[in-house]
């Protein structure tokens, strides 16, 4: 069945197909991730908008049983600042690839799309791309079967405390339970981590923020320590 829709979409990647055609993977807000066929891509009017990390509103023909097609586009955003810095572009590409890996093809996920879009927009605005990447990684862990609790003490379930984070329990410890994990991560800005989620309401209310050097290092250390202690990465 083929249906026509208009949807925002982010180009994840493209690859050559035959002599002058391309297959383009686009994460769409309304139809999830789809593979699109572009004939004679080098001479096509679509050439400017099938490059990785291009965001646009596409007119699409969605085919549930095969390749889909791009009919037209408008409202293009190319993230020029991201693309002008190799380091930022590498992080942005990684975040897009992480979103790709966390979701099955053809499965709609508007909250994930909005979260990815907002992350890229904040990178484009000049916020710390490493911190934004760490936040994205932590928030998306549940999609890989890993759940972290930043909301309450894992033992007494109290909230609003001066939490430390325990990798042993995958959750927070309040001052009365610090002793449960001597290797806990101290002084993590839990409130900032909790303020960013997939919920569309929070995404609409989310305002750009600037982190201190101390907070930036805390985010980075949180992710590094977690991957070392729990996932076995080095």
157 in the same domain as 72:
no
Mean pLDDT of 205-222: 48
pLDDT exceeds cutoff 60 at 193: no
Determine the pLDDT at residue 165.
84
Instruction: State residue 42's pLDDT score.
Output: 83
Specify whether 24 is located in the same domain as 117.
no
Q: pLDDT digit string (tens) for 101-160? A: 999 999 999 999 999 999 999 999 999 898 889 888 888 888 888 777 778 899 999 988
Q: Give the number of domains in the chain.
A: 2
55 in the same domain as 98: no
Whether residues 102 and 29 share a domain: the answer is no
pLDDT of 157 reads 94
What is the percent of the chain where pLDDT is above 90?
Answer: 52
Domain range for residue 90? 81-231
Whether 224 and 171 share a structural domain: yes
- Same domain? For 74 and 92 the reply is no
Chosen domain end from 21, 51, 78: 78
| 3 state SS for the chain | CEEEEEEEEEEEEEEEECCCEEEEEEEECCCEEEEEEECCHHHCCCHHHCCCCCEEEEEEEEECCCCEEEEEEEEEECCHHHHCCHHHHHHHHHHHHHHHHCCCCCCCCHHHHHHHHHHHHHHHCCCCHHHHHHHHHHHHHHHHCCCCEEEEECCCCCCCCCCEEECCCCEEECHHHHHHCCCCECCCCHHHHHCCCCCHHHHHHCCCCCCCHHHHHHHHHHHHHHHHHHHCCC
* CATH number assigned to the domain comprising residue 19: 2.40.50.140
Q: How confident is the model at residue 229 (pLDDT cuts 50, 70, 90)?
A: low
What pLDDT does residue 161 have?
Answer: 85
Select from 16, 50, 78 the last residue of a domain. 78
Residues 172 and 117 reside in one and the same domain: yes
Do 144 and 155 belong together in one domain?
yes
pLDDT in tens, 62-101: 998 889 999 999 999 999 999 999 999 999 999 999 999 9
73 and 140 co-located in one domain: no
Same domain, residue pair 195 and 85: yes
């Amino acid at each position: 069945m083929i249906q026509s829709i208009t949807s925002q979409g982010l180009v994840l990647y493209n690859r050559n197909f035959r002599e002058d055609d391309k297959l383009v993977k686009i994460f769409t807000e309304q139809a999830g991730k789809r593979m699109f066929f572009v004939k004679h891509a080098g001479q096509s009017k679509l050439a400017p908008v099938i490059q990785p990390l291009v965001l646009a509103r596409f007119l699409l023909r969605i085919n549930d049983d095969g390749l889909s097609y791009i009919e037209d586009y408008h409202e293009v955003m190319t993230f020029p600042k991201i693309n002008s810095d190799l380091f930022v572009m590498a992080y942005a590409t990684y975040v897009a690839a992480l979103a790709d890996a966390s979701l099955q093809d053809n499965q709609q996920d508007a909250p994930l799309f909005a979260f990815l879009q907002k992350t890229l927009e904040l990178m484009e605005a000049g916020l710390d791309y490493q911190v934004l990447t760490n936040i994205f990684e932590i928030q998306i862990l549940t999609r890989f079967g890993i759940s972290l609790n930043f909301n309450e003490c894992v033992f007494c379930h109290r909230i609003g405390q001066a939490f430390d984070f325990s990798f042993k329990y995958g959750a927070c410890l309040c001052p009365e339970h610090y002793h449960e994990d001597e290797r806990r991560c101290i002084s993590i800005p839990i409130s900032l981590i909790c303020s960013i989620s997939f919920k569309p309401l929070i995404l609409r209310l989310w305002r750009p923020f600037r982190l201190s050097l101390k907070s930036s290092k805390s985010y980075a250390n949180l992710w590094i320590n977690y991957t070392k202690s729990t996932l076995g990465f080095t």
